[in-house]
Amino acid sequence: MAQKLELLATHKIPDNEDLYTLIDFLNRTLKDKNLIFGVSQRDGQMIVSVYET
C-alpha cells in the first residue's frame, strides 16, 4: 500500500546548489518523525516542500 503524503508547507528561495545537501540531511534526520522534504527548481528559484506521511 502506498503512503499518502500531505503537503504541509512550501517556500521559494533563490537558487542554491547547497540546498540539495540540506534537504538530504533533513530527510535522513527527520524520517522517523514522519516528515519528508523535497526541493524543485523553477524559474531560477528553488521551491522547498515539507510533507507529512
Instruction: Please give the pLDDT value at position 53.
Output: 92
**Could you tell me the three cell numbers for 11?**
517556500
Domain housing 17: 6-52
Q: 3-state SS of 11-51?
A: EEEECCCCHHHHHHHHHHHHHHHCEEEEEEEECCEEEEEEE
Count the domains in the chain: 1
Residue 1 lies in a domain: no
- Tens digit of each residue's pLDDT (9 = 90 or more) over 18-50: 999 999 999 999 999 999 999 999 998 999 999
The model carries a pTM of 0.85
Instruction: Please give the pLDDT value at position 3.
Output: 75
